[in-house]
Amino acid sequence: MLKYASLTIRSWAVLLSLLAALLTACSGGESNVERGNREGVLHFGNGSEPQGLDPHVVTGVPENIIIRALFEGLAVKNPYTLEPEPGVAQSWDFSDDGRVITFHINPEARWSNGDPVTADDYVWSWMRALHPEMGNLYAYMLFPVKNAEAFFTRKIDDFADVGVKAPDPQTLVVTLTDATPYFLQLMDHYSTFAVHRPTIEKHGAFTDRFTKWTRVENMVSNGPFVLDEWLLNRRISVRKSETYWDKDRVRLNKVVFYPTENAVSEERGFRSGQLHTTGTIPMDKIPAYQAMENSPYYQEPYLGTYYYLVNTLRPPMNDSRVRRALAMAVDRDALMRSVMQNSAVSAYSITPPGTLGYQPPKTFEYDLDKARALLAEAGYPNGKGWPGVEIVYNTQEAHRKIAVALQQMWKDALNIDVTISNQEWKVYLDSVTNMDFGLARRGWIGDYVDPNNFLDLFLTGGGNNNTGYADPAYDELIQKIAPQAKTREERYAAFYKAETMLMEQMPIIPLYTYTSKHLMHHSVCGLPSNLMDSLNLRYVWLDADRTSSAEPCE
């Protein structure tokens, strides 16, 4: 009885919302964009409903954007240059050998309840992020810190042995195992953020996941915005923080994030003036937007790779010959032309070419004869005896089209059948985490500009490995030989050797290198395109008088 009653109430609520929207449109009322421009409110299309807002639990891009509005790391990325600049730390010093970094905490940094942000907050928060009971899939981001991995893997029990110390409230001293060129970039990744200890402990054990501390009425954060509203599958709103140390720079009063797994609906929302910017765009709409004068469509290189995870522990995908056959039977160039509308670049490796000057190996190419021969060697000549496999993907039209295209390519080239299954975002994340799949759609966006960010995904037991792939020789190259290299050339040679091993074993099937693709209203300023599609909302503002994207922002 209660179940059906609640459905009825929800249906009426949806109907009333639609009627209100229609009445507003008929009466010529303001759109979200028009009103937002006047009030300083950014309406932001943000993809899927976030899994959560705990920096030490979540893993996705939709979560990243919201969390980086609510929290701030020791350093932040400048959205124009991607160079680290002061965040909670107003400055930092390196030792001569690059292994000790001393962060000087800004004395004006505050939590949203007024408490000062201290170095001790980071010591405690990094202990939480690295605690094995936390289940943090991004714990490895802190592994450059001395003994961090040992603590995470329970080789040591005393966190005092980990290389992070707070000699006083404004000083954080971090000791690394080896000099790590990209370490400062990690300080802008949410897995390294501090969280408010009293708030966490008020709502459960410090390693509990998905507790009530992230609810609107409970959350205490330290970023330029504070959580204002969270209506599940409808919107998440954040408002300007009055305790943020750099609040005078923040020009937006509010940001409203809209979760949608339907790119068609998101694009329609943009056209109708309900969104300032979208997270993506339907592929079949790209040519029309590209042809527009003063187009709101932005496409730029993006540090990311779209690929299929392979469950190497489940037949028939436990045979590397099968994995390589599937990879070789994909005509990536045709996929880019037809499905992707030339909005991406064919990929044959996990690391995007040119990442900080690194060029990955190409161990295979589109070759139907070799693909058929490998499949026959594996015991499935012309598909005979093929047991079947399922592709799992999170609900989105572009993912469906790619899965359907590969399904047809493999049927035509290899005479094998695969099934496809779409899943809601949280279900999909559970499937991937638990390795409950044969093939699974996956995309990895660089958290920092370095090949290591892609190659350390496949370390044995890594939180984001999710393939069953494990090779001690690969681990040694990534974890020992590359970090100890004296020159960039030696370091990249180790990466190249490791990636060659990886792509010969093929625990993933790379498909394409991303580009960022957004629709953005001309009133949005301070949101430049960059290689990481990195958003820093303290730089963003709205200029209602700007009538063209070619005009400078005032």
The pLDDT tens digits of the residues spanning 13-39 come to 333 343 344 344 444 589 999 999 999
pLDDT at 5 over 70: no
Report residue 162 as tokens: 């980990």
Contacts made by residues 206-212, CB under 8 angstroms, sequence distance 24+: 206/128, 206/131, 207/128, 207/131, 207/133, 207/134, 207/135, 209/52, 209/54, 209/57, 209/134, 209/135, 210/52, 210/54, 210/57
pLDDT at 269 over 90: yes
196 and 319, same structural domain? Answer: no
Mean pLDDT of the chain: 92
Judged by DSSP in three states, 75 sits in: strand
473 and 336, same structural domain? Answer: yes
459 and 325, same structural domain? Answer: yes
Query: Pairing state of beta strands 225-231 and 164-168?
Result: unpaired
Query: Pairing state of beta strands 345-346 and 508-519?
Result: antiparallel
What whole-number distance in Å separates Cα of residue 9 and Cα of residue 15?
Answer: 10
449 and 306, same structural domain? Answer: yes
366 and 475, same structural domain? Answer: yes
> To which H or E segment does residue 391 belong?
strand 389-394
Contacts of 4 (CB under 8 A, 6+ apart): none
Domain that holds residue 165: 70-200
The band of 100, judged by pLDDT with boundaries at 50, 70 and 90, is very high
Count of other CB atoms within 10 angstroms of residue 242 = 10
Contacts of 9 (CB under 8 A, 6+ apart): none
Q: Is 207 exposed, middle or buried (0-12, 13-18, 19+ CB in 10 A)?
A: middle
459 and 345, same structural domain? Answer: yes
What whole-number distance in Å separates Cα of residue 257 and Cα of residue 272?
Answer: 17
Q: 174 lies in a domain?
A: yes
Which is it for the CA torsion 164, 165, 169, 171, positive or negative?
A: negative
Residue 28's pLDDT is what?
55
Q: 127 lies in a domain?
A: yes
Give the Å distances, CA to CA, from 245 to 83, 225, 405, 421.
20, 11, 50, 47
CATH code of the domain covering residue 383: 3.10.105.10
Residue 91's pLDDT is what?
98
Q: 403 lies in a domain?
A: yes
Q: 120 lies in a domain?
A: yes
Bridge partners, residue 229, by sequence: 237
Using one digit for the tens of pLDDT, what is the confidence trace for 274-287?
Answer: 999 998 899 889 99
Q: What DSSP line would sit under 206-225, residue for residue? A: TT-SS-GGGSTTT----SSE
Residue 17's pLDDT is what?
41
Spell 329-349 as b/e; 16+ CB within 10 A means b.
bbbbeebbeebbbebbbbbbb
pLDDT at 1 over 80: no
Contacts of 23 (CB under 8 A, 6+ apart): none
Residue 61's pLDDT is what?
85
CA angle 532, 538, 542 (to 5 degrees): 100
Report residue 460 as tokens: 């044995």
157 and 304, same structural domain? Answer: no
Residue 263's pLDDT is what?
87
Q: Is 385 exposed, middle or buried (0-12, 13-18, 19+ CB in 10 A)?
A: exposed
Structural domain total, the chain: 2
Nearest to 56 by CA among 144, 138, 174: 138
461 and 336, same structural domain? Answer: yes
Q: 48 lies in a domain?
A: no
As a residue count, the chain comes to 554
Bridge partners, residue 41, by sequence: 254
What whole-number distance in Å separates Cα of residue 104 and Cα of residue 92?
Answer: 6
pLDDT at 463 over 90: no
Last residue of a domain, one of 171, 200, 229: 200
What whole-number distance in Å separates Cα of residue 239 and Cα of residue 207?
Answer: 28
CATH code of the domain covering residue 80: 3.90.76.10
pLDDT at 43 over 90: yes
Using one digit for the tens of pLDDT, what is the confidence trace for 488-515?
Answer: 999 999 999 999 999 999 999 999 999 9
pTM over 0.85: no
What whole-number distance in Å separates Cα of residue 64 and Cα of residue 462?
Answer: 20
pLDDT at 397 over 70: yes
One-letter amino acid for residue 219 of the chain: M
196 and 305, same structural domain? Answer: no
Between 461 and 7, the more confident residue is: 461
Report the share of the chain in percent with pLDDT over 90.
82
Residues 331-346, mean pLDDT to the nearest whole number: 94
Q: 245 lies in a domain?
A: no
178 and 309, same structural domain? Answer: no
In 316-365, at which residue ranges do the beta strands (DSSP E only) sit?
A: 345-346
Q: 36 lies in a domain?
A: no
196 and 343, same structural domain? Answer: no
What whole-number distance in Å separates Cα of residue 253 and Cα of residue 257?
Answer: 14
> To which H or E segment does residue 301 belong?
strand 297-310
What whole-number distance in Å separates Cα of residue 546 and Cα of residue 548?
Answer: 6
Count of other CB atoms within 10 angstroms of residue 528 = 16
304 and 196, same structural domain? Answer: no
Q: 543 lies in a domain?
A: no
Bridge partners, residue 226, by sequence: 239
Nearest to 335 by CA among 323, 344, 348: 344
